[in-house]
Amino acid sequence: MQAYRDQYARLFNDGRNVIVLGISNDGPEDLASWLYDADFPFVFASDAANGGETYAAFGGGLRGNGMAGDRSVIVVGPDGRVAGVIPSFNQVDPGAYDELAAMVDAVTPEPDEGG
């Protein structure tokens, strides 16, 4: 996710009105510490305590163990609807960022040229 943070403005138009939500099985304290230390421009949610219900609520399917994948990503468009689900985001694969960028771009409004 560091690569996403570092490329955020260039790849995702600063995420105008789009929410990128990373969901993992990591505990909330671990996620909060990681977010704080790394200064990520997006939201993480933990599925550690509720058996994958958070991920399922956003349209993700559960794994055989009843939990979300290690790093699932949900893209929510400006209209508040789920625009895309990446069941298992491979943060070291450049292609994963292309897929994520395409989801964000598909729902990102064009900048207002008038100011």
> What pLDDT is recorded for position 107?
86
Whether 111 is covered by a domain: the verdict is: no
Give the span between the Cα atoms of 75 and 36, in whole angstroms. Answer: 21
Coil, strand or helix: which one is 95?
helix
Tokens for 95, please give them: 């292609």
Whether 113 is covered by a domain: the verdict is: no
Say if residue 92's pLDDT is above 70: yes
> What pLDDT is recorded for position 95?
84
Predicted TM-score (pTM) of this structure = 0.74
Q: How far is CA 101 from CA 48, 52, 98, 110, in A?
A: 27, 25, 5, 14
Query: What is the b/e burial string over 57-95, where b = at least 16 CB atoms within 10 angstroms of the residue's CB?
Result: ebebebbeeebbbebbbbbbbeeeebbbbbeebeeeeee
Give the count of domains, the chain: 1
Higher pLDDT, 40 or 23: 23
Whether 19 is covered by a domain: the verdict is: yes
Parent domain of 44: 2-84+93-106
Q: What is the pLDDT of residues 75-87, one digit of tens each?
A: 888 889 998 988 8
Whether 31 is covered by a domain: the verdict is: yes
Whether 67 is covered by a domain: the verdict is: yes
- CB atoms closer than 10 angstroms to residue 115: 3
